[in-house]
Structure 1
């Protein structure tokens, strides 16, 4: 993988073209090997001359991702990126986003990070467009390779021992620690199922009331500010950073600042007037929030070619 290949690929995607299947196969297979060998919770530090950008859901909104990169800069050896799941589904350019993120992971395996989201799963891909998009633009084998690679992705990233970044949220049991995440063998369970640590990491949401409550999604549960406070205190964390839900300003600080949501798909599904956001973190580990607006894209409705019916429910 080279920067020149990625630049050419980005331009092809902007112009509505695909890349040859042989390159698609190579990219997915190479990245699956890299991420399979990463721990379930990747642990990284931000060095003195480095900046980390944390991005939330992109959901196939390729042209908005291009705007994020235009505003904030492309990934480099000194500009790390972490994409916190839900790269695919709903938007109509999910293969483009997945291939671009994978190409950067192959190019910069130690400075470009990917967490799994609840949409990097077979059942969601079947309903919300990604499986159909893979078959329409490439073939069934491409979807199967992506499916295998999604199941190999890490579930969380620990940034400077201060911030736990994971797609959904916290747990039904207060006894869960970072060590439990470290010990979780995600390779024993390709799909998250209906219970357990993996499901909760991908699916849960914060609530304003203390304690825990039922999920509005029908999967997982909701956790209150007291749950977040205990988890952060027990594990020596300043905050958790999660995605998984639209926020009208692109991000939100909840639970006394200890639960931060970042969502990077502005004007989500062309139906919500939300901004997108990303978080920059420097070596001082201070969080800088940046908002951005959606940009025009070719006139293709979300998922219109790939899935039926059009379902715009929760992220």
Structure 2
């Protein structure tokens, strides 16, 4: 876990036909100004998801097999969460199947591996909020759904004010839930060239760190179909 500056954007999302260009741009920004950008791991930053949804094929087509292995290695180095000014918890997926998880527990996770199918690391990458209290099964079959009471309890126990996460397409690019204690922000407009959604990012400005949400629409891109490098089965549905 790292302290993060006042600008937050959606964690890396590798699902599209220009994923390589996107991630190399982000890495270039990180090299150019390390303290100005912090990258988070998402559920797609794993070998299995990269194979299914096309990032592996894209890298192999545009670069080489060597870079497939290098990306797999660097994904295992990405942080699972960040905290902004000790008050805002930033994560790709969501919260946990058990109460009492502290920031120290998250720091203690050995993230230098492929994500497991259960446990804290899995839930950070895969979980989603639900509109009713308590916990429930995930619509994805991995992770869980968690309610407003789970969010508020986690924030209170860790002296935090807000959860910011992504992992779900939203029509307006964002959604505020759980009595204002959780914001979903999704920065890919017209997701997979099919959803027609806006994209969004959040700017937190000192001293009060009030979220300023900025939305934007998709722009034209080169004529390459979405998920052009995915395996044959998925291309049938793209």
TM-score by length of 2: 0.95
SS at match of 2:75: helix
1:1-315 equivalences under 5 Å are 41-44=1-4, 46=5, 52-56=6-10, 84-86=11-13, 88-89=14-15, 91-187=16-112, 190-284=113-207, 285-310=209-234
Question: 1:303 Cα deviation (Å)?
Answer: 1.4
Could you tell me which runs of 5 or more consecutive residues in structure 2 were left unpaired when the two chains were aligned: none
Question: 1:143 Cα deviation (Å)?
Answer: 0.9
Question: Do 1:263 and 1:276's aligned partners in 2 also have CA atoms closer than 8 Å?
Answer: yes
Deviations 1:152-184 (A, max 9, x none): 111111001110000000001111111111222
Alignment RMSD (CA, Å):
1.4
Question: Do 2:51 and 2:230's aligned partners in 1 also have CA atoms closer than 8 Å?
Answer: no
Structure with the larger helix share: 1
SS at match of 1:42: coil
Q: Which moved more, 1:117-126 or 1:105-114?
A: 105-114
TM-score by length of 1: 0.73
Question: Do 1:304 and 1:310's aligned partners in 2 also have CA atoms closer than 8 Å?
Answer: no
SS at match of 1:252: strand
SS at match of 2:52: helix
Inter-partner Cα distance in structure 2 for 1:116 and 1:138? 22
Tell me the matched-pair count.
236
Query: Which portions of structure 1, spanning 4 or more consecutive aligned residues, are displaced by more than 6 angstroms?
Result: none
Question: 1:306 Cα deviation (Å)?
Answer: 4.3
Question: 1:311 Cα deviation (Å)?
Answer: 6.3
Question: 1:308 Cα deviation (Å)?
Answer: 2.1
Deviations 1:103-148 (A, max 9, x none): 1111111221100000111100000010000011111111110000
